[in-house]
Structures are given as structure tokens and as C-alpha cells.
Amino acid sequence: MIRRMDAVKLDVQKLVAGYIPGHPILHGVNLKIAPGQITVVLGPNGAGKSTALRVLAGFLAAESGSVRLDGDEIVDLPTYRHIESGIALLPQGHSVFPDLTVAENIELGGWILRGDRRRLHQAVDDVFTRYPHLRDLRNKSAGSLSGGQQRTVEIARLLVSNPRVLLIDEPSVGLSPVIASQVYRELTALKAEGRTILLVDQDIRAAIRIADYIYVLNSGKNEIEGDRAAFEGDLGALVRGWLGV
């Protein structure tokens, strides 16, 4: 049985970050990521969505601004402290190691448990219990799996550390509609366990369907925001038109 965890929130204030000092991509982004909810970030290509997720995951340093996890400032902490505090990133694009087996790929998600083989083994076993079809595939090379199976491996790897905050970057790209809808169902199930989810997506329709709250970024700045109801009406059409979809 999966127990519901105590949900945590993330507060992002005036976040400035980029790849070249003095040339920010994010120009003071503000996000309130409510505990145990699905917050969606939309925006055109190059808006800075993935950049924001990288900062929140601790992979990219901010130039200024604040990221607070349940009130604690984490913006300047090293990556491993972000992982230890329960933040996990599913990066955009493919992130399985094709030559490693499914089991090896999943074990990589247990980096913070590396000093405790028994706990790591248990955590990996829990993930296999959650995705029994992956247990059957555990000795296969990940590269030989279908796109949907590889995406499940990536999600399984993310869950080994039992994260409280999931940062998910474009989870359905390249998947068939049926498999994509399974991925969205899984995100809803993860929310039901009390996990806090920040979802970046190009599939606006699918993302809005599972969103509790939605932000639109453009050119590294907040553009519009609102709850799902606000985006299902005229505003949805407005954004879709604006994004050219």
C-alpha cells in the first residue's frame, strides 16, 4: 500500500538565472507551487521553462532571487542537497542510458541511498512492485525498450528516492496518445500520494486537463496565470492561439 506523504510547497520569487553571467534567461520569475498539487508551466519554445526547472532542481545556479521549500531557502544549495530535500527532475528529452539494463538505470535514481545497500535494494524493489512489467524487463538493455517503456523507466528512476517534489519536463513528447495518457494518469496518481508536481508541457490541452494551477512564461517573464477553470474557457483558446497550436 502506498501511504500519502506530507506535501511540501515551493515558492519561487524574482528568480534571475541564465547560462552566461550578466545575460539572464529568466528575468525575475515568480511561481507558487502549491503542496500536493499539479502546477503547470506553459510557454513558447525558449521561454525559459526548462531553465527554471534546472534551477529548482539545483542543476543551474541562480544569479538572484529566492527558491523556498516549505519556507527554507534552497536557491544556493548544491545539487545533492536539493536531491536530499526531496526534489527530483525528469529532464526534457531522453534520459535513459540505453546500454545499461533497466535495473541499472533505475538504481541510478537511488544515489542518495548509495551508502546503504539494503535500503537501496528495498527502494528499487518497491519501484518494481509499482511497475511489475519493468521487473520482467529488468535485465534487458533500456535501449531495446519501446518509447513508453523507457519513459516508465525514467519515472521509476525518479521514484527510487521517494521524492516529495517532482519537476517534470515534457513527459509525453514522442509517445503515442494512448501511452501519453497513461503518463498523465500516473502524474495524477503521484499527486494523490501527496507529491507536489511542477509540470512543463507543450501538450497544453493534456497539461491543463490535470492542472490545479497554470503559469505561462514568455521570454523569461511571467505572462499570465490562473486556475484550470480560467484556462479551460476563452483563456485556453487565447493561449493556444498565441502559441500557434
Ligand X SMILES: Nc1ncnc2c1ncn2[C@@H]1O[C@H](COP(=O)(O)OP(=O)(O)OP(=O)(O)O)[C@@H](O)[C@H]1O
Where does this chain bind ligand X (CB under 6 A)?
19, 25, 43, 45-51, 92
Under rule CB under 5 A, residue 172 binds Mg ion: no
How far, CA to CA in Å, does 203 sit from each of 86, 128, 141, 150, 209?
A: 26, 28, 29, 19, 10
Please give the full DSSP string across 201-233, using - where no structure is assigned.
Answer: -S-HHHHHHH-SEEEEEETTEEEEEEEHHHHHT
Binding-site partner at residue 48 among Mg ion, ligand X, none, CB < 5 to 8 Å by type: ligand X
Residue 169 C-beta: closest distance to Mg ion, Å: 6
Using CA atoms, how far apart are residues 145 and 153, in angstroms rounded to an integer?
A: 9
Q: Give, to the nearest 10 degrees, the angle between helix 147-159 and helix 177-192.
A: 10
Binding-site partner at residue 110 among ligand X, Mg ion, none, CB < 5 to 8 Å by type: none
Cβ nearer to ligand X, comparing 54 with 157: 54
Residue 87 C-beta: closest distance to ligand X, Å: 18
Residue 91 C-beta: closest distance to Mg ion, Å: 9
Under rule CB under 5 A, residue 50 binds Mg ion: yes
Residue 46 C-beta: closest distance to Mg ion, Å: 8
Using CA atoms, how far apart are residues 209 and 74, in angstroms rounded to an integer?
A: 30
Cβ nearer to ligand X, comparing 46 with 177: 46
Under rule CB under 5 A, residue 85 binds Mg ion: no
Cβ nearer to ligand X, comparing 41 with 155: 41
Tell which one of 37, 92, 95, 202 touches Mg ion (CB under 5 A).
92
SS3 57: coil
Residue 56 C-beta: closest distance to ligand X, Å: 12
Residue 34 C-beta: closest distance to ligand X, Å: 22
User: Side chain identity at 103, as an amino acid letter?
Assistant: A
Phi, psi for residue 149 in degrees, rounded to 5: -65, -40
Binding-site partner at residue 46 among ligand X, Mg ion, none, CB < 5 to 8 Å by type: ligand X
Cβ nearer to ligand X, comparing 9 with 221: 221
Binding-site partner at residue 218 among ligand X, Mg ion, none, CB < 5 to 8 Å by type: none
Which residues ranging from 30 to 49 are in contact with Mg ion (CB under 5 A)? 49
Using CA atoms, how far apart are residues 124 and 139, in angstroms rounded to an integer?
A: 14
User: CA angle 162-204-40, nearest 5°?
Assistant: 40
Using CA atoms, how far apart are residues 196 and 191, in angstroms rounded to an integer?
A: 6
**How many helical (H) and strand (E) elements, i.e. helices and strands, does the chain have?**
10, 10
Residues that bind Mg ion (CB under 5 A): 49-50, 92
